[in-house]
């Protein structure tokens, strides 16, 4: 493919702005770029590669001549406009949940299942942020020793909810420290100095939608429909970076040293695992970085075939914008 014309839908949001940053940093070849958002952002100017570009309202006519459309708007926007963009000739990489479990739409993490890209029919889905970092860490181990069961607890930053949530955490923290009252607007309860075991809506089975995304998406990405998975997703008062405590049951025993050896060579993974030296990953150091960090690898004391891992990544970057741009890069190579 020649240098493509690119559209970014949802350009003014946190992920949309990160799309621009990642495209520039990776020197992604673009013959042109168009920025789209809602009518509230129409007319706003944003810099791309040193050039000021006007943000326009997304309409059905927005996609003529576009080769790649990166979507970071909500699921409703994606459901409406992604098929329109695909019909106009663009390949859509959609960051929302709109198409992830559609059997006709590939769900891709380039380090794991890049071959699925060729199955697209105009739309490729970007997985959920918490799913991406977990599968990047687990898939290299799964290839050597098939995984039978995963239990994960997540510690997810407020940036996963968007700019309004970041502002809410900042404002509530200031209010509490000054002796005032934290007034929740984005979240149902105070998030400053608190944790909330509720991300997305609750389902009839007692899990939240976020937790069930991790179950279904992991199986689809890893082509492993029989893996037993249970997730508990928790919102924590961290600005950027999701952390996960992951318990894994393999088909046979695997030592921590074997896991470290595999992960030290795995694409997209950075191993940080020296407890004696207090070396382990944490959100502040992962913010702004591309890698999925893994540490605290140890035997699961409750199961002979189990390991426990601590996984950390920038949810806005690898969990969203970077993964989508990596998909677009694979499209260019094809």
CA 209 – CA 159 distance, rounded (Å): 18
88: left (phi over 0), alpha (psi -120 to 50) or beta: alpha
Task: Please tell me whether residue 120 adopts helix, strand or coil conformation.
Answer: coil
Do 70 and 79 meet the contact criterion of CB atoms below 8 Å apart? no
- Sign of the dihedral through C-alpha 152, 142, 304, 258: negative
Alpha carbons within 13 angstroms on the beta-carbon side of residue 170 total 9
Number of H helices, E strands in the chain: 8, 13
Residue 233 annotated as catalytic: no
CA 62 – CA 34 distance, rounded (Å): 9
Residue 242 annotated as catalytic: yes
Catalytic entry in 42, 80, 129, 139: 129
- Sign of the dihedral through C-alpha 209, 327, 220, 319: negative
Nearest 5°: phi and psi at 306? -110, 150
Structure tokens at 245: 């405590």
Q: Could you give the residue numbers annotated as active site?
A: 129, 242
């Amino acid at each position: 493919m020649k240098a493509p014309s690119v559209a970014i839908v949802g350009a003014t949001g946190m992920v949309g702005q990160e799309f621009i940053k990642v495209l520039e940093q990776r020197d992604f070849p673009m013959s042109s770029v168009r920025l789209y958002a809602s009518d509230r952002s129409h007319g706003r100017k944003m810099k791309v590669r040193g050039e000021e570009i006007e943000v326009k309202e997304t309409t059905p006519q927005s996609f003529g001549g576009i080769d790649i459309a990166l979507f970071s708007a909500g699921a409703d926007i994606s459901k409406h406009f992604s098929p329109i963009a695909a019909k106009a000739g663009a390949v859509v990489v959609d960051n929302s949940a709109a198409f992830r479990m559609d059997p006709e739409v590939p769900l891709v993490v380039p380090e794991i299942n890049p071959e699925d890209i060729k199955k697209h029919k105009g739309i490729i889905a970007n997985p959920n942020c918490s799913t991406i970092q977990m599968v990047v860490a687990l898939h290299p181990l799964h290839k050597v020793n098939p995984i039978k069961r995963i239990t994960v607890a997540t510690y997810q930053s407020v940036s996963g909810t968007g700019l309004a949530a970041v502002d809410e955490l900042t404002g509530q923290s200031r209010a509490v420290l000054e002796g005032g009252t934290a007034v929740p607007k984005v979240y149902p309860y105070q998030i400053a100095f608190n944790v909330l075991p509720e991300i997305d809506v609750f389902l009839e089975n007692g899990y939240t939608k976020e937790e069930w995304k991790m179950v279904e998406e992991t199986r689809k990405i890893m082509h492993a429909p029989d893996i037993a998975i249970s997730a508990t997703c928790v919102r924590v008062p961290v600005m950027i970076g999701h952390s996960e405590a992951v318990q894994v049951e393999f088909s046979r025993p695997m030592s921590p040293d074997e896991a470290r050896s595999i992960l030290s060579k795995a694409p997209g993974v950075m191993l940080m695992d020296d407890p004696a030296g207090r070396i382990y990953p944490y959100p502040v150091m992962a913010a702004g970085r591309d890698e999925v960090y893994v540490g605290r690898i140890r035997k699961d004391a409750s199961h002979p075939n189990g390991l426990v891992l601590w996984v950390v990544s920038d949810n806005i970057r690898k969990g969203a914008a970077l993964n989508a741009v990596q998909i677009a890069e694979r499209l260019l190579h094809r």
